[in-house]
Amino acid sequence: MNIKQTSISIIIGIISSSICFSFGFFSSVYTYNGWSFFLTYTILTLIFSLPVSLTTIFLEKKYPTITTHTQLTKKLSNTSKLTPLSLLVTGTLLILLSIILFEVSTYILDFFDNVPAIDRLSESPIVYDNNLIMYSILGFIFLIIALLAISAVRGKFNIDKILEILSHTSLYLLVILVLLTVRVHNFHIGVESFFNLSPEISYNFKNMLAMATIYAILSNFISIILYKTIIEVRSNDPCPNIKSTAIKSVIYTIIFSFVLCMVTYALIGKDISSINFSTDAQAINIFSVIKDNNPGQYLVLEVIYITLNLITLLVGINYLVKISKNSTFRLVSLIIPFVMAIALVNSGIFFLDFSDLFILHIVIFYIFLFDIFVVGWLYDAQRLSYEMMKEANLKVSAFFNIFLRIVIPAICIYILLGYIFNNLNLLAQIAVTIILLVIYIAKGSYFKKRFNQRRF
């Protein structure tokens, strides 16, 4: 995507939201009492996104030819010793893509199963008598993606253009769904329940903080390199308004997510009290209520989710086709997620709850912290702010350096500790966070001197 386009901030915001909703964002919003979770997510997203967006957009302007995590890490740290950690990024991406493939196949199957019977949709969950139709859908998706990847590698096709089209499509569909929803009887009941903090709903506060943080990280594409690959600022472009683009993209992310959550709550309406928050908050159960009461709106909502899943899928594919020039490696990278998705189908499940994937959550935390460490300490946040001023005429405050070096790592470490050690008391959690943060800063100072010298 060309940063000169006026819609770039909107597109980044929609893609960012797509990644969250593709991995059960609404289920977490519903489980953790609506507004309280969304507000926590919003605060964390603002804290993380502004410095990360500024950094990513500037790095794309400065290093437009860097397209892989290995290249970026080596360039910023001035050493190749850390590049093996890039395998973790690729491995995590493959796992996430397999989840997306499984989810989008489920949505597509449900959509084509329900369209002929729109006047008599039931509220029962999907039941598969056999897996042949799922395999057929997966095979069809693989064929389309393989053709897109081959065309992209040969320079005959631009995946970014499809991302742009899908982003605008999801926005238009959401507007249509909003217009359809305001006609629903008692829609205000669901909207009011989103803002009402229900004391009878109990949940683990530390888990809520962790999930909100994970989605804030997902809003930042987990890794800077994944964020960077969708921007593609050409080196001969005039200097973009980096700060404006960064701020607007964060705002659009929050607005799009908020509207989609509100519409879903509105469609649930008066049946909000019939759903058990502790056991029924999965999207498949929530959607079954909407399907029973508002079948037309349900199908539009499902198409939106299919579109968001496809956007997320293409973001991953866009990175995988650039990760190596070896055709065999590219092909294997595309096949692995499909094999994993088929394994999920064979397991007999029809819905995968992202909130249960504890180990994957920890890995996502680690990848994000690693990238922040490389930018904030090894490359040096102060050097980065100086280069922004010199090369892009962008003046950032001292808070930019402080957030990249200390604030964001401190928040992640504190929340991750509470997530791993759920019974840790508050004082102990704060004390351990301070100790680990001191070690983090000491390691940053040491490796900065060892691998890199400030050259300004």
| Per-residue pLDDT in tens (0 to 9) along the chain, 456 residues | 444 444 788 999 999 999 999 999 998 998 888 899 999 999 999 999 999 999 998 998 899 889 899 999 999 998 888 888 899 999 999 999 999 988 888 888 777 766 544 444 444 444 444 567 767 777 887 787 777 777 766 666 678 888 889 999 999 999 999 999 998 888 888 888 888 866 555 678 999 999 999 999 999 989 898 888 877 644 344 445 788 888 999 999 999 999 999 999 999 876 666 665 555 555 566 777 788 788 889 889 999 999 999 999 999 988 988 887 777 888 888 889 988 888 887 777 767 889 999 999 999 999 999 999 999 999 999 999 999 999 888 889 889 999 999 999 999 999 999 999 999 999 999 999 999 999 999 999 998 888 765 444
Burial bucket for residue 90 (CB in 10 Å: 0-12, 13-18, 19+): middle
Alpha carbon distance 341, 332 (integer Å): 14
Domain 3-356, CATH 3.40.190.10 — does that match?
no
Amino acid at 9: S
The answer to whether the beta carbons of residues 240 and 61 sit under 8 Å apart is: yes
What pLDDT score was predicted for residue 2?
A: 44
Alpha carbon distance 240, 224 (integer Å): 18
Amino acid at 30: Y
- Distance (Å) of CA 89 to CA 29, 30, 69, 127: 26, 29, 8, 34
What burial letters (b/e) apply to 286-320, b meaning 16+ CB within 10 Å?
Answer: bbbbbbebbbebbbbbbbbbbbbbbbbbbbbbbbb
The answer to whether the beta carbons of residues 260 and 41 sit under 8 Å apart is: no
What pLDDT score was predicted for residue 404?
A: 96
265's CB contacts (< 8 A; 6+ apart) are 34, 190, 191, 193, 194, 272
Alpha carbon distance 397, 387 (integer Å): 13
